[in-house]
Structure 1
Amino acid sequence: MEEPQITSPGTSVINPKVLIMMADYGHDPTETAVPYTAFKNAGYDIKFATENGKPPRCDKKMLEGFTQKLLGAKKEVVTLYKKMAISEEMRHPLSWSDPSFSLDPFDLVVFPGGHEKSVRQIIESPIVHKLVLDYFPKTKKPSKKVIGAVCHGVMVLSESKDANGISVIRDCNTTSLPAKFEQAAYWGTRAVLGDYYKTFGAQSENTEDSVRKVLADPSQFKASLNPGPFTVEDEQYNYISARYPGDAELFAEEIIKLFESFHKIV
């Protein structure tokens, strides 16, 4: 067992237990590998989970060929992804459909994004929705449990609704993929890639609209069209969200900073 980290004078961090929840295929490699690497470097205990314990694989279009060079992961991120893909954690994930599976043992649950249609496996999963409905309320401050979601990962939360149709993030401040980003990517690549950038098909609503409509007030959706790093931390819950791959590094940094704040030595 690793010793607790000392990150700076006066600060002690107990290594959090992290779970990265994924579909079998299609997540964005940057939104997965960058946080994974940051948490790994911080000494966190990381596990992955897929529906039936199958090792997940990220979107090939973001990792290979002209699509990678044009719109995909940066070269250094591809290297991080390859290292992550052969890790024990990613090669031997848990199964979130196992009847005995629970999110309770974890201090941090992360939902990476990805627009490839296969990610609908997790966005639409009633099993995952039930798990989130149980776990999300446990992140209410001053809890030390945390949820993080990027891009389409936020839709897993927005679609996790109780019997009255109320989403777990109804009262939260959040971000997700801005509609203008999604539309620019879709129309800019439509001639070559068809509806690749529309996870639910060409005529489906934008991710931003899907998230906004479950909020108590649309103003809770925080958007920035500046491509520079941007994240949102909710005031009531330990919930941090981000928009797209360009936010992945800051997203991980803000989560790590949050855990550090839990364990400051007074």
Structure 2
Amino acid sequence: MAAAPCVLILMADYGHDPTETAVAFDVFKDAGFEVHFTTETGNPPKCDDRIGQTYNMDTINNSDDPLLAQGANKRAVDKYHEMIKDPAVQKPLAWSDPDFSLLGYDLLYFPGGHEKSVQQIIDSASLHKHVADYFPQTRKPSRKTVAAICHGVQVLSMATLPDGKSIFHDVTSTALPGAMESSIFWLTRPFLGDYYKTYGKGTDNVETSIKKKMGNPAQQYVNKLGPSPFVHEDKTYNYLSARFPPDTAMLAERTVQLVRDVYQS
């Protein structure tokens, strides 16, 4: 009997979105995948506490804004509290360890999160080097796959190849649309300040940051506004991307199918 596909979820110590993390984890576990976690120094990761509290406020749950209205619902928060009991979460690998490598994994999954602490993973030069080694190996046909959502896509885009280009120079991807990010930032700024802007007011949004890493962003960046789930699959690489929490289940389910397809080929 063949071994189960092995997944690595890459996280900052704190700040990731509980829906984008725990819902995907649940789908991967239900599919029978072996799931590991990694943080920079091996600290157990913790998701953004504020999201569950914020999204459960009546004034926000009744909002027309898709990001606010479809955030971390009770089901997602419950899944998160189950996830953090898992031994893989309690004892993650350290990507700063000299012996660490991504190359043994069938799938890398990058959840998002806008809390400022996620800068730890977005800005990690050592992780960028590992990603730059791994991502080119997802070129079809391959048994390696990468999936990312929201700010997780930004982590990928920061990895640079030996020629100085981002790994995204020839990749198609979606991510958190700038219109959505700006909408929620300005809507919540009176009572949450710069909370919804990871690098603070006046900095690039996720969409702009990613487009700057692409060779032809007009052709490579795939945008869709609206609350219905959306996932994009690149045609050259085994790479899937999504925008924000409501996309998570679809992203994880399509990732499972892609991994199974390439794993059995």
1:32 counterpart letter in structure 2:
T
**TM superposition shift of 1:187:** 0.6
**Aligned twin of 1:181:** 180
Matches within 5 A, 1:100-139: 100-139=99-138
Distance 1:15 1:35 in 2: 17
The more displaced of 19-28 and 152-161 is: 152-161
TM-score by length of 1: 0.92
**Aligned twin of 1:231:** 231
Change (3 A) 1:67 1:228: closer
**Aligned twin of 1:208:** 207
**Aligned twin of 1:54:** 43
Question: Residue 18 of structure 1: SS of its match in structure 2?
Answer: strand
CA contact (8 A) 1:141 1:238 kept: yes
Q: Which runs of 5 or more structure 1 residues have no equivalent in the other structure? A: 5-13
**TM superposition shift of 1:263:** 4.9
CA contact (8 A) 1:61 1:68 kept: no
**TM superposition shift of 1:169:** 1.4
Question: Is 1:25 aligned to 2:25, yes or no?
Answer: no
Question: Residue 147 of structure 1: SS of its match in structure 2?
Answer: strand
Distance 2:202 2:124 in 1: 22
**TM superposition shift of 1:138:** 0.8
Change (3 A) 1:60 1:68: farther
1:132 counterpart letter in structure 2:
V
Q: Which runs of 5 or more structure 2 residues have no equivalent in the other structure? A: 61-67
Matches within 5 A, 1:71-90: 71=68, 72-90=71-89
**Aligned twin of 1:153:** 152
CA contact (8 A) 2:110 2:149 kept: yes
Q: Percent identity?
A: 48
Question: Residue 186 of structure 1: SS of its match in structure 2?
Answer: helix
Q: 2:5 aligns with which of 13, 16, 35?
A: 16
Distance 1:263 1:31 in 2: 24
Distance 1:263 1:171 in 2: 24
**TM superposition shift of 1:162:** 2.9
Distance 1:263 1:199 in 2: 36
**TM superposition shift of 1:264:** 5.3
Distance 1:208 1:225 in 2: 12
Distance 2:24 2:251 in 1: 7
Question: Residue 108 of structure 2: SS of its match in structure 1?
Answer: strand
Change (3 A) 1:264 1:132: closer
Higher relative helix content: 2
Question: Is 1:256 aligned to 2:256, yes or no?
Answer: yes
Distance 2:143 2:163 in 1: 28
2:49 counterpart letter in structure 1:
K
Question: Residue 184 of structure 1: SS of its match in structure 2?
Answer: helix
Distance 2:55 2:180 in 1: 17
Change (3 A) 1:264 1:130: closer
Question: Residue 26 of structure 1: SS of its match in structure 2?
Answer: strand
CA contact (8 A) 1:52 1:94 kept: yes
**Aligned twin of 1:240:** 240
Distance 2:155 2:191 in 1: 28
2:51 counterpart letter in structure 1:
M
TM-score by length of 2: 0.92
C-alpha RMSD of the superposition: 1.4
**TM superposition shift of 1:163:** 4.6
**Aligned twin of 1:10:** none
**Aligned twin of 2:30:** 41
Tell me the matched-pair count: 253
**TM superposition shift of 1:262:** 2.3
